Amino acid sequence: MPYYLSDSIYPKWATLIQTINFPNGEKEKNFTKQQEAARKDVERAFGILQACWAIIKQPCRLWDKEELNFIMKACIIMHNMIVEDERDSSFENDFNYDQLNMPDTNLASGSSSDFHFFLQRYQAICNQHKHSELKKDLIEHQLKLHESRLLKKQNMGVVDGSDESCDGDSAA
């Protein structure tokens, strides 16, 4: 089951992994550092897309999954095109995207068996036991990655033992 990184205001569902507010021990501290770094990157990127494209600001729970996929890809591609174009020109963009009319979208529809399947998935997502298992597994996995990076640094001759670049940034 896929999961999302979140903060503590969200429920303890199997698909939402919150930051550990008061981490105990090296495992939890390492997990918290990595999880917060990744969550901040995603929030920044999504905030940029929301600022540019009004359609992303709207609720989407009943939209068709494939249509949402196309919308997100289109917004990301258009954002990248704008960034690339702005490198070559310095025009000012005064367009107010909030004034755009929202396009009609297809709502997901189906039979009562589809709704029954939806309810089963919803109950699985809300399972707090699965949430705890996933969080424990992620903490262990993150610790193994952290230890692997430290070992690699030691083999490369880094002697101070600090691991400042664990969040993916390179100190080159």
Q: Which two tokens stand for residue 139?
A: 């903490």
Q: Which residue has the higher pLDDT, 35 or 106?
A: 35
157 or 130: which leads in pLDDT = 130
Residues 124, 14 contacting (CB under 8 angstroms):
yes
Pick from 71, 16, 17: nearest CA to 49: 71
Q: Mean pLDDT across the stretch 39-45?
A: 84
pTM across the whole model: 0.50
Q: Which residue has the tokens 């600022």?
A: 51
Does residue 102 or residue 157 have the better pLDDT? 157
Whose structure tokens read 């033992």?
161
Residue with the larger pLDDT of the pair 99 and 155: 155
Helix (H) or strand (E) holding 4: strand 4-6
The pLDDT of residue 153 is: 86
Residue, of 70 and 111, whose pLDDT is higher: 70
pLDDT of 84-126, one tens digit each? Answer: 777 666 555 566 656 666 666 665 666 677 778 888 888 888 8
Integer distance in angstroms from the first to the last C-alpha of the chain?
36
Confidence of residue 169 (pLDDT cuts 50, 70, 90): very low
Band (pLDDT 50/70/90 cuts) for residue 168 is: very low
